[in-house]
Amino acid sequence: MPPNIVVKLLRDNGFNKVKLFEADPGALRALGKSGIQVMVGIPNDLLATMASTVTNAELWVQQNVSQYISKYGTDIRYVAVGNEPFLKTYKDRFVRSTYPALQNVQAALVKAGLGRQVKVTVPLNADVYESGDGLPSSGDFRSDIKTLMVSIVRFLADSVSPITFNIYPFLSLNADPNFPREYAFFPDSGGGGGRGAKPVVDGSISYTNVFDANFDTLVSALEKNGFDANKVEIIVGEVGWPTDGDVNANTALAQRFNQGLLNRIVQGQGTPRRKTAPEVYIFSLVDEDVKSIDPGKFERHWGIFSYDGAVKYPLSLGNGRQLVPAKGVRYQAREWCVLSPQAAGNGATWTSSADYACQLADCTSLGPGSSCAGLDSAANASYAFNMYFQKMDHRRGSCVFNNLGVVTKIDPSSGSCRFPIEIDTSRHETLRPRKNSGGGEGKWRTVATAAMVVVWAVFN
């Protein structure tokens, strides 16, 4: 979607904060004088550059922070230095560069006169802390990075800057076939959310959901290392639930989880060990069709909105407000590319053509347990053909497939399986796609790969 429509979508829904994975010029300009506070990210592959000299950090701050504040009135409040740089799957690639990069960026902000206005942080995965017996009260920082974590938390606290952690109950459920399903949801979040979960008893505290338990494991880790968790500003940088690409990823479960999450945000609810509610960024705003699917096909379907800003499922935002869709989105012509009836009826082989289409377009909705899993082989081919046709913006020759494809004006969508029509990019200024950031494409947590740059929002 174009940046101006994304910003209007945020404002229409009362989202007052957003994170950009990278400093996209179009997004930063559109956010100028919008009333939306911005967290802008530095990708992991720039950490070594930021760490090498403070001059590099000063140049980045000038180009990506100072000029947008002064020239466009963009309300940049945070710079996120890296994204989950201590994931075990990175094999220590960013361990040496993250802290000095953080120090240099902070020094650059101070030199630019922005030290009070713009704070630094490092978004970290919840795997940087752990509990030996599974109880939150036993939480501590991971032994291999404990000294580094204490240094970073102390530096951020001394700089009056927040610490940021990403928590994913969906991934907890998805990774462990024995994980208690109800424990992934909040109590009273609809559909019996949390009420069927066997509590995890930790001393005088009974935990009924994994979000609270995970967050309080962090609280314990902070306290064990000499920090007062009630005086440290904590941001939950990513939390959400996907709607497709896995048996546990659908609109019903996403609505259940995110409504429970929004209820907590509206009520200002904290956790048993920390009553102060953290600032929460919901992941994500829209789906991302070029995101790495190494962790799973669900990675392209975290949005509370579809790729075009359409509402996926109802969410109550408090005060009687509901989610509203994006306005002003322009589409390609109402045409779809499907397997021709002649090819489908004469036994022609279309597997190789469908495979080719899916190599270049997003076919993650075809996987087991996904929204289009019930299609027969011919409809599978039609879905693949159409996704390629839409990705190619209906260009001539993009619905040939060895004469197996045909353009139709009849919507082939069926049941839960939606055959989309692409946004007409020639009639919009669009956000540019993100390249993969960080290391290891085989990692089991995704970082900053995004088709849409504006992907995290906070409700107020």
Q: Which residues are catalytic?
A: 84, 238
* Backbone φ, ψ for residue 11 (5° rounding): -65, -40
**Under a CB-based contact definition with an 8 Å cutoff, are residues 167 and 194 in contact?**
no
User: DSSP class of residue 158?
Assistant: H
Bin 415: left if φ > 0, else alpha if -120 < ψ < 50, else beta: left
191 in the Ramachandran plot: left (φ > 0), alpha (ψ -120 to 50) or beta? left
Three-state secondary structure of the chain: CCHHHHHHHHHHCCEEEEEECCCCHHHHHHCCCCCCEEEEEECHHHHHHHHHCHHHHHHHHHHHHHHHHHHHCCEEEEEEECCCCCCHHHCCCCHHHHHHHHHHHHHHHHHCCCCCCCEEECEEEHHHEEECCCCHHHEEECHHHHHHHHHHHHHHHHCCCCEEEECCHHHHHHHCCCCCHHHHCCCCCCCCCCCCCCCEEECCEEECCHHHHHHHHHHHHHHHCCCCCCCCCEEEEEECCCCCCECCECHHHHHHHHHHHHHHHHHCCCECCECCCCEEEEECCECCCCCCCCCCHHHHCCCCECCCCCECCCCEEECCEECCCCCCCCECCCCEEEECHHHHHCCCCCHHHHHHHHHHCCCHHHCCCCCCCCCCHHHHHHHHHHHHHHHCCCCCCCCCCCCCEEEECCCCCECCECCCCCECHHHCCCCCCCCCCCCCCCCCCCCCCCCCCEEEEEEC
CB 26 within 8 A of CB 47: no
Both tokens of 41, joined, read 């990210």
What residue type is assigned to position 11 of the chain? Answer: R
- On whether the CB atoms of residues 137 and 181 are closer than 8 A, the answer is no
Q: Tell me the C-alpha distance between 110 and 274, whole Å.
A: 31
- Total residue length of the chain: 460
